[in-house]
Amino acid sequence: MICIPSWVSRILDILSRVIDCFAGRADVTSGLCSKFDELRMSSAPHPVFFDAETVRARLTWPVAYSAVRHAMIGLSSGEVRQLLRSFISVGEDKTFAIMPAALMGARVFGAKLVAVFGDGAGRRTHEGVVVLFEGEGGAPVCIADAGEVTAIRTAAASAVATQALAAPDADRLAVIGVGRQAAMHIEAIAAMRDLKHVAVWGRDPGRTDAFVQSMAIKTGLHIEAALSVEQAVREASIVCTVTGARDPILKGAWIGAGVHVNVVGSSNPLSAEIDADLVARSRFIVDHREHVLAHGGEFLRAKAAGLIDDQHIAGEIGDVLAGRFVGRENSSQITIYKSLGHAAQDLAVVEWMRRQTDSVPSWSAEA
């Protein structure tokens, strides 16, 4: 639910005491002035809170696509100011991350504070909050559940990148992983592309079968479980890796000409879902160059192996979306979208939700 804090009740209380001025005081004018001074002093904004249920209900795919697209164009153009994320290890496979950014066009800034915890079996949870501040007085105006925001905006970003980079007739999807992001990616890409077939691979066959059955019922798509990663991607024209793998599980030798790959699951310099050969063979497009140079595990491994240098990053997805840069150059090219995820995306979707709730002038999420 949406929890709007106590400012409404405070105003009602003040108005009640103003009425008392008329009933019980001789100096009504003085009483009114005093009470309305109190009202004025108490009118600072108070944060709205969006829990996971509210985020799910409000952040539809079309909204998420539009807000993320706008954020990524702004990130590439310089309209968004963003620092490298900070990581603090709080235990084995447990990380606390701080991700700050400012959306100058929307006149808001803030950060995502998130705990990313692994379970030792290749699965990770994201728990935390996105905190949004308004740019005029610097007050916090919104707090949102970071887990739900992350789940939706990450898949939306991959879908937007897929639409921009995959071949126009690409309609066979392979998803590597069976966690929350796997489900969200199937939904997000299916909402934008007319998928004919979806292949899914997960480490646990039983869990994979249950996932496939559940998603087939939910989406109405033709979804099948694959016995191996190689089998899953064999006939795919779009591939999404959404795992917690530390080391590559997808090899370049398994990817054919013209395929588009979204590399999503790894978000730190020590993890890599795809091998160096696939990085080197691809037209490598990133969500944010500076972040990938510092934290893109797949890119850093290929660079360390001497297969590529920094110039292998062809460009940023924001420049592709804005028409400043060509994404796919030909039908046989392998394209990769390396997604690390950014506070700009989180803040953009949270700001959109806030403006649907508050009586503030709306901003356009269209770029």
pLDDT digits (tens, 9 = 90+) for 110-145: 999 999 887 766 566 778 999 999 999 999 999 999
> Is 31:24 a contact under the CB 8 Å cutoff?
no
> Is 335:328 a contact under the CB 8 Å cutoff?
yes
Q: What is the pLDDT of residue 234?
A: 97
pLDDT exceeds 90 at position 265: yes
Which among 342, 252, 239 is positioned nearest to 292, based on CA atoms?
Answer: 342
Q: How big is the chain, counted in residues?
A: 367
Cross-strand bridge partners of residue 50:
2, 144
Q: What is the pLDDT of residue 28?
A: 46
pLDDT exceeds 70 at position 197: yes
Whole-number mean pLDDT of the chain?
88
Q: What is the pLDDT of residue 273?
A: 98
Q: What percent of the chain has pLDDT over 90?
A: 75
CB-neighbour burial class of residue 138 (10 A; exposed 0-12, middle 13-18, buried 19+):
exposed
Query: How far, in Å, CA of 45 to CA of 324, rounded?
Result: 39
What is the token pair recorded at 324? 């400043």
Tens digits of residue pLDDT in 288-314: 999 999 999 999 999 999 999 999 999
Q: Phi/psi of residue 46, each to 5°? A: -125, 145
Q: What is the pLDDT of residue 34?
A: 54
Average of per-residue pLDDT across 91-118: 91
Average of per-residue pLDDT across 93-100: 90
Largest CA distance in the chain: 89
Residue with tokens 């398994």: 254
Q: What is the pLDDT of residue 127?
A: 86
pLDDT exceeds 90 at position 367: no
Q: What is the CA radius of gyration of the chain?
A: 24
Better-predicted residue by pLDDT, 217 or 360: 217
pLDDT exceeds 90 at position 4: no
Q: What is the pLDDT of residue 263?
A: 98
Confidence of residue 361 (pLDDT cuts 50, 70, 90): very low
Total H helices, total E strands in the chain? 13, 16
Confidence of residue 285 (pLDDT cuts 50, 70, 90): very high
Query: How far, in Å, CA of 19 to CA of 12, rounded?
Result: 11
Q: What is the pLDDT of residue 306?
A: 98
Average of per-residue pLDDT across 305-327: 97
Confidence of residue 93 (pLDDT cuts 50, 70, 90): confident
**What proportions of the chain, in percent to the nearest 5, are helix, strand and coil?**
40, 25, 35
pLDDT exceeds 80 at position 358: no
Better-predicted residue by pLDDT, 84 or 25: 84
Residue with tokens 């004025």: 40
Residues 6+ apart with CB under 8 A from 86: 97, 98
What is the token pair recorded at 62? 């079309």
Q: What is the pLDDT of residue 267?
A: 87
Beta strand 94-103 with 86-91: parallel, antiparallel or unpaired?
antiparallel
Average of per-residue pLDDT across 238-245: 96
Query: How far, in Å, CA of 187 to CA of 184, rounded?
Result: 5
Which among 107, 41, 100, 53 is positioned nearest to 360, based on CA atoms?
Answer: 107
Q: What is the pLDDT of residue 174?
A: 98
pLDDT exceeds 80 at position 152: yes
Which among 235, 288, 240, 247 is positioned nearest to 262, based on CA atoms?
Answer: 240
pLDDT exceeds 70 at position 59: yes
pLDDT exceeds 50 at position 204: yes
Q: What is the pLDDT of residue 1?
A: 40
Q: What is the pLDDT of residue 15?
A: 43
Better-predicted residue by pLDDT, 229 or 89: 229
Q: Which of 36-45, 137-146, 214-223 has the lowest mean pLDDT?
A: 36-45
Residue type, 111: A
Average of per-residue pLDDT across 95-114: 94
